[in-house]
């Protein structure tokens, strides 16, 4: 059975690993957009779905392949759902370095003295068969947890060392990759997307 080749509209190696782990067994070969020289695109919108659609169309246009984009982030209840769509740029928007470490340090600063630590990860996935696909497939997933006081664990990426799952008594960075994929916002969204793909005949061009 030949696999469906799809470009992933992201340069984040953490995301590529998580997508490939779930999609490869389903016959979908994920190819990083860097392999096709896809240029970075800005994410100007206030919603995850608009940013994901923009990234998917751009990657499909530049690669000539179907494309999958993920726009995801951390929404913290006590911060009115910040950093949200700005999760990757949270520290940079405050004039600091653009890195996971700086984002985490900035988050802890914003949470100082706040006892409501509730938060959720959200992921919105958009799949387009072609750049101007009139009927993109959209799926979303959420994962609820809390912001920890101190970092724990070395797996995952981004905010994972501080994203604590009370039922497990662990941060996400303490979970094995396959456990994260089973439970995560991205894993949930991907399984919804796979169901939709299976019933939508994705190889047919619009
Ligand atoms: P995007 O690449 O614009 O979608 O930004 C996603 C950002 O949200 C990442 O850079 C992380 O900061 C954060 N994020 C999304 N999903 C996760 C996750 O699974 N673990 C940790 N951080 C995440």
Ligand 1 close to Cβ of residue 91 (< 6 A): no
Q: Two tokens at 83?
A: 């950093």
Active site residue 100: no
Nearest CA-CA partner of 29 in 68, 61, 70, 63: 68
Q: Two tokens at 76?
A: 């913290």
Residues 138 and 120: their CA atoms lie apart, in Å, by 19
Which atom of ligand 1 is least distant from the CA of 70? 4
Ligand 1 close to Cβ of residue 74 (< 6 A): yes
pLDDT confidence of residue 202:
46
CA atoms within 13 A on the CB side of 91: 16
Active-site residue identified among 11, 70, 71, 132: 71
Number of helical H runs and strand E runs in the chain: 5, 8
Residues 74 and 163: their CA atoms lie apart, in Å, by 9
Residue with tokens 């690669």: 63
Q: Is the pLDDT of residue 206 over 50?
A: no
Chain segment 75-120, per-residue pLDDT in tens? 999 999 999 999 999 999 999 999 999 999 999 999 999 999 999 9
Nearest CA-CA partner of 73 in 189, 192, 193: 189
Place 203 in a pLDDT band, splitting at 50, 70 and 90. low
Residue 120 Cα to ligand 1 midpoint, Å, equals 12
Domain range 4-198, CATH architecture: Alpha-Beta Complex (3.90)
Q: What is the mean pLDDT of residues 35-55?
A: 97
Which atom of ligand 1 is least distant from the CA of 180? 19
Which atom of ligand 1 is least distant from the CA of 185? 19
Report which secondary-structure segment, H or E, holds 118. strand 118-128
pLDDT confidence of residue 204:
43
User: What are the domain boundaries of the chain?
Assistant: 4-198
Cβ neighbours of residue 115 under 8 Å, at least 6 residues apart?
Answer: none
């Amino acid at each position: 059975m030949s696999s469906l080749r799809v470009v992933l509209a992201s340069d984040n190696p953490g995301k590529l690993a998580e997508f490939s782990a779930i999609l490869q067994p389903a016959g979908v070969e994920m190819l990083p957009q860097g392999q096709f020289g896809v240029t970075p695109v800005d994410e100007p919108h206030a919603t995850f779905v608009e940013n994901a659609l923009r990234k998917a169309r751009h990657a499909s246009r530049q690669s000539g392949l179907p494309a999958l984009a993920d726009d995801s982030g951390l929404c913290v209840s006590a911060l009115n759902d910040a950093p949200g769509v700005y999760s990757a740029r949270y520290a940079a928007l405050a004039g600091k370095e653009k890195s996971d470490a700086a984002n985490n340090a900035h988050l802890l600063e914003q949470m100082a003295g706040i006892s409501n630590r509730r938060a959720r990860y959200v992921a919105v996935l958009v799949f387009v068969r072609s750049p101007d696909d009139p009927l993109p497939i959209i799926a979303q997933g959420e994962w609820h947890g809390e912001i920890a006081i101190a970092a724990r664990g070395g797996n995952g990426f981004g905010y994972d060392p501080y994203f604590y799952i009370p039922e497990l008594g662990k941060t996400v960075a303490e979970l094995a990759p396959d456990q994260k994929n089973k439970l995560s916002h991205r894993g949930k969204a991907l399984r919804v997307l796979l169901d939709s793909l299976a019933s939508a005949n994705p190889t047919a061009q619009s």
